[in-house]
């Protein structure tokens, strides 16, 4: 189980670093270590100490709990109301979409979210149609 936890924490580290558009080099510089150490953390080869995890959480602007989200059986993806493939959040396309979304002002973001929701497949409504309103 220990190896699984190290791997999970490393995946969460990589996900947050990529979301912020940081390189391993830049994150390493922020916490005073070499990029090779970040690589080892991200693949779960090296365990992250409590002190280092605190520094990484500060550098990535997340609470320490962020790194452990999804570990417990109560929070497993299979039990979630909407299933998201585990690898979808690590794809470049997803990160590009999230960055673009958060670079918008609040109004356009809301419109984009409404559009995305309207494009979802709704199995309960086979006559679901898309309506676009251009303003």
Domains of the chain: 2-80 (1.10.260.40), 91-121+129-135 (no CATH)
Is pLDDT at 73 greater than 60 in this prediction?
A: no
pLDDT of residue 56: 97
Please tell me the distance from the alpha carbon of residue 45 to that of residue 110, in angstroms, as a whole number.
40
pLDDT mean over 125-135: 51
Is pLDDT at 131 greater than 70 in this prediction?
A: no
pLDDT of residue 74: 40
> Would you say 10 and 39 are in contact if contact means Cβ atoms under 8 Å apart?
no
Find all residues with CB under 8 Å of 97, minimum gap 6, and list them: none
Please state the pTM of the whole predicted model. 0.57
Q: What is the pLDDT of residues 85-107, one digit of tens each?
A: 666 767 788 888 888 888 888 88
As a whole number of Å, the end-to-end CA separation of the chain is 53
Is pLDDT at 14 greater than 90 in this prediction?
A: yes
Among 36, 32, 46, residue whose Cα is nearest residue 3:
46
């Amino acid at each position: 189980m220990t190896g699984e936890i190290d791997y999970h924490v490393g995946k969460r580290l990589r996900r947050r670093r990529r979301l912020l558009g940081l390189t391993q080099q830049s994150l390493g510089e922020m916490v005073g270590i070499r990029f090779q150490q970040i690589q080892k953390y991200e693949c779960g080869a090296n365990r992250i100490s409590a002190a280092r995890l605190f520094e990484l959480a500060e550098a990535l602007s997340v609470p320490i709990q962020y790194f452990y989200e999804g570990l417990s059986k109560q929070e497993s993806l299979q039990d979630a109301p909407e299933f998201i493939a585990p690898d979808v959040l690590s794809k470049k396309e997803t990160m590009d979409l999230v960055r673009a979304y958060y670079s918008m002002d609040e109004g356009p973001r809301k419109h984009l979210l409404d559009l995305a929701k309207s494009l979802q497949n709704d199995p309960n409504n086979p006559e679901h149609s898309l309506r676009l309103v251009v303003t």
